[in-house]
Amino acid sequence: MRVLMIAPPGAGKGTQGALIAAHFGIPHIATGELLRDHVTRRTSLGLAVQEYLDRGELVPDQVVLDMVREAMVAAKAAGGGYVLDGIPRNMEQARAAYLIARELEMTADVALHLDADDAEVTRRLLARAALEHRSDDTADVIAGRLALYHQVTAPIICWYRDRGILVPVDAMRPAQQIGREILTALDGMRPLLDSQAARAWHPGDLATLAEAFGVTGPAAAPCG
Ligand code: ADP
């Protein structure tokens, strides 16, 4: 199972990514976590990216792409599945991540779009701030991260819809309910993805994959 997640901050990528990874026994590649780990360990990469994280800005594409390539190579060695959490975040990253995955013969089967509105995710992030003290969970920085999401991340959702691998998820609900829905959808797709026929379609002509799975939903991405 190869899954990537597109979602605004606070929609639950981390929670659902961990759930999917545990359910399928695949690596959870979370770029924000990897970057924060570098910051905590005060590696040279961590020192270089700390200010971007504190300000809620995107770190340079190449930094994340190098990190993700390394993680994808490890994921390939571990069986080939993965959950990508936090990348891609703009069109350049979407293209580059696709090329890396194609080169490794492990392009995504499913792009989950966890959709939640700004008021709800802001409420969640401020609640989390009280518990976790992440440097970017302040009201100002949250507003900036959300604006950035709408500006450069949300437009890439259309691309996954065009590729036929988009699965929209209503992320306004409790985490447990969202998790159950995601696992049910992914479990339902598994036999088809595991079959030779599905692999033979891959990755070029997946245009009708979502329809083949009978995936319907609010499809609320701001495309066009
Ligand atoms: P959130 O989705 O709540 O913003 P993440 O943990 O995914 O949280 O990301 C935290 C921060 O890490 C981002 O604000 C950004 O600075 C950096 N980051 C994570 N992923 C990327 C990426 N793909 N490209 C650039 N910066 C990233």
Q: Which fold has domain 2-30+80-211?
A: Rossmann fold (3.40.50)
Cα 133 from Cα 129, distance rounded (Å)? 5
Of residues 128, 136, 131, 129, the one with CA closest to residue 39: 136
Q: Is the CB of 136 under 6 A from ligand 1?
A: yes
Burial (Cβ within 10 Å: 0-12, 13-18, ≥19) of residue 166 = buried
Q: How far apart are the first and last CA of the chain?
A: 29
Region 141-166: what's the mean pLDDT? 94
Q: Is the pLDDT of residue 47 over 90?
A: yes
Q: Is the pLDDT of residue 206 over 70?
A: no
pLDDT tens digits for 12-22? 999 999 999 99
Helix axes 44-55, 139-148, angle to 10 degrees: 90
Q: Is the CB of 12 under 6 A from ligand 1?
A: no
pLDDT tens digits for 76-109? 999 999 999 999 999 999 999 999 999 999 999 9
Distance (angstroms) between ligand 1 centre and the Cα of 86 equals 6
Cα 183 from Cα 3, distance rounded (Å)? 12
Q: Is the CB of 9 under 6 A from ligand 1?
A: yes
Distance (angstroms) between ligand 1 centre and the Cα of 91 equals 15
The CA–CA distances, whole Å, from 16 to 46, 47, 132 equal: 26, 29, 18
Return the amino acid letter for 137: D
